[in-house]
Structure 1
């Protein structure tokens, strides 16, 4: 155990002499960031329908006497996704399924459906919380606190969706009204800036509230800004990428592949921003090996000679 401690200390001292960007890359990779991004992408995909059910359930209760407004919101949500036939067709199927299912239910079934949808879609933010535990080396929250935070973040996300839709659709509406090249360019630029601001607020909220430690704007703004700028650039370029390299994918399979790829890049951007905050502003250094190897060393350091022996089972230690 002392040998392992000495080797770890020597590794940390050598790491301090390594260039920061190389240490950051090591932390990013050793924390299994790309693997956790794939996990988040899958969670985003399976949370899509429950989120749609929750949104349209709430909107259905609020706007039940205004079907035209509901349809307008549906169309704007569909058009806010990348502008290619496969993705928007798939999103339309999800939205229509969620809306039609709620319209068939009545009375208490609607409320039950909304509650279950809220619980199901909030699992996404629990998955993000688990990723932040690795990035910041912090313990997990108790079950109740974890779920309260996840549901709260879900409602915040639902509130942010109309702002995202308005930010993405406003330039297209104004461009058809404003004459002249200068006015059109200014409108397009303003739309990008507003979209950046909304994305920054979303990432800032995730980086501030989800990690299980005290956070501040000073330690979270940079990652949120990098993530927001990267996401905006990604949203602009992704439709071009889909048309050029994924034109052969069609139908529901194409929708699933394209959407999963979109979510994977989004999740990678989210974890990248968190890693920037943790490394450059909270001074969290990389693990000396990948996460799996690190856990193996921790298992050995705690004297668990048998692979089946729990790390912190003091009773079993006394028996041996």
Structure 2
């Protein structure tokens, strides 16, 4: 019966039409995309406090005598995360810790703290670079170039963060100002589109500059648009998911679990967009097997006599 079904014209046409998507799904899985998403989620979590210290340190120097402006920025950052009490309580502690520590430091000690924070948080972009190496089959950058890229992307990220915070608060702000059902819907739609545009710009920067190859808008726009739209929908639905399915978590453990889950989905979306660009726009084919098995096969195919000797030391 199954053989008869497979021999039908409709089944064969369906297979032919879905072949590109099945090959894309195979590339996505064989590249260990979900494993790398977990790695990026962990790096995002670890980089959270250093990024906060670096951002608030710079803002603290700029807004040294303006306590009201600092408080407004703190509140916008806190409320940009999922609106459940556990997550926002944990984010508030991180923000207060960063600001509280910086308010005690001064002069050279503050500068040293910011430098170390910048170094720690820039490791996130090195992790993203490693993922792009696999997705685009490109070699790693030299140590110096890799770190210069990481610091450059971090500074861009710090500049974009305030814009993203403003974008994320735009729908709620417009809804509170504009009365009436139609007007409120238009305000929400306008805020959503503005937030979508900012997210698109962020993903476009990542997809354009981080891969170790020449990129252009024609091969990056689709993945950036898909990632931005998926992220916006995710940000809208994630608080509902937390309230419905994660009520059993509480305190600091709950904060860590919820935040790590939030970052995991964000990292998955980021990698998904890059995979779309690489497969559909630059025709990078999937590995014949999972990444680990593929490396093992390549190791064997090059006539390795001793499995303990690295490939770069073999006489190939």
With the shorter chain as reference, the TM-score category is: over 0.9
Partner of 1:54: 54
**Hey, what's the Cα distance between the residues in 1 that align with 2:198 and 2:306?**
51
Offset of residue 17 of structure 1? 10
Structure-2 residue corresponding to 1:228: 228
Question: Number of aligned pairs?
Answer: 302
Structure-2 separation of matches of 1:299 and 1:178: 64
Task: Deviation per CA, 1:78-105: give whole Å up to 9, x if none.
Answer: 0000100111001001111111111111
Q: Which residue of 1 aligns with 2:43?
A: 43
Once residues 313 and 171 of structure 1 are traced to their aligned partners in structure 2, the CA distance between those partners, rounded to angstroms, is 58
Question: Does residue 92 of structure 1 match 2:87?
Answer: no
Corresponding residue for 1:10? none
For normalisation by structure 2, the TM-score amounts to 0.93
TM-score by length of 1: 0.92
Distance in 1 (alpha carbons) for counterparts of 2:256 and 2:272 = 24
Q: Which piece of structure 1 moves more, 80-89 or 167-176?
A: 167-176
Aligned-pair distance for 1:170?
2.4
* Conservation of the 8 A alpha-carbon contact between 2:170 and 2:195: no
User: In structure 1, what is the Cα distance between the partners aligned to 2:96 and 2:81?
Assistant: 15
SS in 2 for 1:287: coil
Moved over 3 A (4+): none
What is residue 266 of structure 2 aligned with on the other side?
Answer: 266
Q: Equivalents in 2 of 1:255, 1:17: separation in Å?
A: 44
Give CA deviations for 1:106-160 in whole Å, capped at 9, x if unaligned: 1101001001101100100000000000000000001111111111111111111
Give the Cα separation in 1 of the matches to 2:158 and 2:124: 13
Q: Residue in 2 aligned with 1:129?
A: 129
Partner SS state of residue 312, structure 2: coil
Q: Does the CA-based 8 Å contact 2:174-2:191 persist in structure 1?
A: no
CA distance in 1, matches of 2:304, 2:17: 33
CA shift for structure 1 position 303: 2.2
Alpha carbon RMSD of aligned pairs, Å?
1.5
Cα distance in structure 2, aligned partners of 1:202 and 1:212: 18
Match of 1:240 in 2: 240
Gaps of 5+ in 1: 1-15
SS of match in other structure, 1:149: helix
Residue 21 of structure 1: aligned partner = 21
- 8 Å contact from structure 2 (residues 219, 277) kept in 1: yes
Q: Distance in 1 between matches of 2:33 and 2:159?
A: 28
Could you tell me which runs of 5 or more consecutive residues in structure 2 were left unpaired when the two chains were aligned.
1-15
Corresponding residue for residue 7 of structure 1: none
Structure 1 equivalent of residue 153 of structure 2 = 153
Equivalent residue, structure 2, for 1:185: 185
